[in-house]
Amino acid sequence: MNRTVTTKAYAKINLFLDVKEKRPDGYHNIESVMQQISLFDTITVLRSDAGNSKNISIECTDKSIPEDKRNIAYKCAEAFFEKFEIKNYDITIHIDKRIPSAAGLAGGSSDGAAVLTSLNILFDVNAGISELCETGAKIGADIPFCLIGGTCICSGIGDVIVPCDIPQTSYQILLVFPGIAVSTAAAYKLIDETEREERLCSAEDIISDLQNGRMPSKLYNSFEKVTIPENPIIDEIKRIMQKFGGNSLMSGSGPTVFGLFRDEESLNKAKIDLLAKGFRPYVCVPNTK
């Protein structure tokens, strides 16, 4: 008997991202305030009768994303079957892609997290969130956050997660993906070669603003200092958002820029200006728990 589970795989932004030292294993320690947002991919997993087979098929509406073993959703499915010792399976994962790819929005990680959640239901495994996080962390450092969602302070390589209790927030988000490619590896290398700059705010400042029902007044991302000089379009988008009262920052290793707006009127003005300049803004809201 075939069964399907459909879930939403939400994107994230980093309200704060401090890249710290490089570790002996080659990864970097970070401290970040991750915020899940309402922009999502839709993931549908179909389980068919497996017999003696092992089959994972991927279909993705965005044909620039691999539909094979390289897909993060595929890797998560494989890790799930290994971890829970499921020997026979036949699944099809359909990804309806809306989150821009390679954008600093964790689109792939979120698809992977949604697959873990769906397989947990479809194969009646009943694993707890910590077991799913452990499985996901082997594939990507952002996957545990994508499983937990909401607003979290993340440290280690991003996999040590403290969820924060945030009341329903009153700000809206404008997102612009400038459509350029930035290399995450090259950005980390530049950070290592550059002197550490002074942080003008901390993760705790941002959480305190949010817990008091305020839109964060300061934001920070270590990647901006090394990525913006080579990609001035990022600064151009930031300035347009700021002109209309937005508090703007690049997300993750970029190149997506987001702006936080207190009211819909100023957000709409920024949106119209961005559209007139040829950008494609997305409007979304933070997902609080």
Nearer to ligand ATP, 181 or 275 (CB): 181
- Compute the least distance from the CB of residue 196 to ligand ATP, in Å: 21
- What's the token pair of residue 20? 């710290």
Query: Cβ(287)–Cβ(163) under 8 Å?
Result: no
Nearer to ligand ATP, 206 or 250 (CB): 250
Q: How far apart are CA 159 and CA 3, in angstroms?
A: 31
> Hey, is 259 helix, strand or coil?
strand
Query: Cβ(146)–Cβ(46) under 8 Å?
Result: no
Residue indicated by tokens 């996999």: 159
Q: What is the DSSP letter of 200?
A: S
Nearer to ligand ATP, 107 or 136 (CB): 107
- Compute the least distance from the CB of residue 274 to ligand ATP, in Å: 20
Query: Cβ(174)–Cβ(281) under 8 Å?
Result: yes
Nearer to ligand ATP, 32 or 172 (CB): 32
Q: How far is CA 259 from the centre of its chain?
A: 16
- Compute the least distance from the CB of residue 72 to ligand ATP, in Å: 4
Residue ranges that bind ligand ATP, judged by CB under 6 A: 65-66, 70-73, 95, 101-109, 111, 142, 252-253
**Choice among 12, 75, 97, 271 that is catalytic:** 12
124 tagged catalytic = no
12 tagged catalytic = yes
- Compute the least distance from the CB of residue 254 to ligand ATP, in Å: 8
Minimal CB distance to ligand ATP: which residue? 108
- Compute the least distance from the CB of residue 102 to ligand ATP, in Å: 4
Nearer to ligand ATP, 106 or 244 (CB): 106
Query: Cβ(263)–Cβ(17) under 8 Å?
Result: no
**Choice among 142, 159, 205, 209 that is catalytic:** 142
Q: How far apart are CA 148 and CA 287, in angstroms?
A: 11
Q: How far apart are CA 139 and CA 208, in angstroms?
A: 32
Active site residues: 12, 142
